[in-house]
Structure 1
């Protein structure tokens, strides 16, 4: 699926970007500012990443993370096959980084709220390219500014497109991209091919 391939790539790119201390908007450089701290990264090999949601994209992300030499801890709302699932509290407490891969439903809205953010180990990284409503943005920003979190990498937001004065754009320890986690040349070509195929189904109407 185009979105799975493109999205897993964006998640894989944002995780090392956050680990490397990269800051700013993904679609362009932020003006130089003396307030920006010097970049100081961490090595991903040997680190632990928590994968919250283990559908197609979560599984693909886990394989990529393992390729970086990371230990993967999985939590999913339902039983999963092929990978040991750990309790949510354990994943949050042990992970150096967590990446969200869940659909937004009534049950998952606000999933990563203030209490769960507080359960994350100090210095953790949070990556969300799934759905904005999964995280309490205000609580996330508070934890980042209090330095409970090392970095956040976000591709989705409560209000889109981001206004020029959106506080996320001035966070030196946030990597921000513009809700285009799936968009690669390859994914775009596959989407076009799928659209053409559907339009040309015998007896179907072009649309």
Structure 2
């Protein structure tokens, strides 16, 4: 039980927005109380505990592209996103009644989430933007003109949007994606009134 608590402490501290690091001597009852009341002042820790926390591995580990491609075809991905693009159910947080013109610069700084509401790519570490991950890239390409969707619609942070544009261009250069707009057959009888058909 103590090993699980030690692993969960930095994550819980980050999710609660705590500035102080939870001491390893904290028990499960205290963690439950902190979650219930949402306090940001968690137990003060010694300098040795702070040094141990700095030496811990980063919160986000690097996922290979092959693992991300397998994740896109898994049942966990289908259950999470329910057949929709990854950016559809995301809602942006912003101050005031009007959204800023640009999204934030980045969501992950030094391997840790810098915000409580990361963009659709940064919130799921198994979504890797790469020119070989075609199933993910196609979700950010418009079916009407074949261009990359704007960050105003997808709500990606600026760093991930630049990575997306580079990955799409590289996929097109390598032949994984087509340059041409997909051919669409239209039924023109829908536009002609019923009197003109006779």
TM-score range, shorter chain: under 0.3
Using CA pairs under 8 Å that are at least 6 residues apart, name the structure with larger relative contact order, 1 or 2: 1
Query: TM-score if structure 2 supplies the norm length?
Result: 0.28
Question: Which structure has more helix as a fraction of its residues?
Answer: 2
Question: Which structure has more strand as a fraction of its residues?
Answer: 1
Instruction: Name the larger-Rg structure.
Output: 2
